[in-house]
Amino acid sequence: MTGPVRSFTHPPAPTGTQFPTPSGAIISPQYCSPDPVDLRTVKKMLTISNGNFVVTDINNDDIIFKVRGTLLTLRDHHPD
**Residue 11 above 80 pLDDT?**
no
Q: In angstroms, rounded to a whole number, what is the distance separating the alpha carbons of residues 69 and 51?
A: 5
Residue 24 identity (one-letter amino acid): G
42-78 tens-digit pLDDT: 665 544 446 677 778 888 888 877 777 655 444 544 5
The C-alpha angle with vertex 33 and arms to 27 and 39, in degrees rounded to 5, equals: 85
End-to-end CA distance of the chain: 55
